[in-house]
Amino acid sequence: MIEDIELIFDSSIRLAATLLLAGLGELIAERAGTINISIEGMLLSGAFGAAYGSHVTGSATTGLIIGSLVGLFVGLGQANLSHRLKVNQFIIGLVINFFVLGVTSFLAAELSFRPIRFGILEIPLISSIPILGSLFSQRTPFFLLFILVPLTWWLLYKTRWGLEIRSVGEDPEAAAISGVPVLKRRRQAIYICGLLSGLAGSYLSIGHVGSFTPNMTALRGFVVIAAVILGGWRVKGAVAGCLLFGGVEALRVSLPALGVTLFPQLLISLPYLAALLTLTVIGRSNRQPKELGKDFDDQL
């Protein structure tokens, strides 16, 4: 029984790590007033960049950096097209997602590469604790979460920059009158989202899975958006939401191994059904940033 719980818990936190790395970036973007639909493309491009980069350089660490920068590059496109050229942020997000899916699928078919996977890092003594010890016996990029979660909270709530980010998501007109560069702050938030989503995709390909396959993110970007909304646009809420969806996906993976048989189609759809149900029941009660998803004309 303990072994089964440890298996599910370990799977849950590993699967949640990808969601949470991207979720921290999406949280910042949405607090600034932008629903970053292109997060799926950021994840997928980061996964490919890390896998191919680690093969070319022979270093998983370098691959992780390359994947993160590729995600940032996608974020640059999303931010500047939507907040500098004033292209509809939802349309450009969907276009970027389809473009990245096509390009990465083509490159994966044309190129032959073998990604370098991160090894497992164990913290002595702590990693041997039953169940919870899994938190301290993971592949190296996982431990970045212990830094990034409190860092995101500090940036959003304890710095002037974070105050400005939150203000442009709540009342951009008042922020602009106060001298805050609204569109610049929104672009910066998307840049951070791209960087962290690229990092999340990198963790998925060369940390968690150890390979790259076309469309391997499998709509995880939209699950990330659901987790941020479910968490009420707060850091602790986003952490809880990502853990919830990671746990649901872990059940999907672990149930057959535990001898529980369900319809395969039902198992595949479990994370998305959970996202839909929780948003329907809980998500509506959370107050979103007032200007979330709304364009702002800096010429006013």
What pLDDT digit, counting tens, does each position of 208-217 carry? 999 999 999 9
pLDDT (tens digit, 9 = 90+) per residue, 123-171?
887 877 877 788 888 999 999 999 999 999 999 999 999 999 999 999 9
Helix residue spans in the chain (DSSP H): 2-31, 39-57, 60-83, 89-110, 145-158, 160-170, 172-177, 182-203, 220-230, 235-257, 264-281
d(CA 146, CA 59): 23
Whether residue 229 is predicted with pLDDT greater than 50 in this model: the reply is: yes
Q: Which residue has the higher pLDDT, 180 or 251?
A: 180
pLDDT tier at 259, thresholds 50, 70, 90: low
Mean pLDDT confidence for 6-24: 89
Mean residue pLDDT across the chain: 88
Whether residue 285 is predicted with pLDDT greater than 60 in this model: the reply is: no
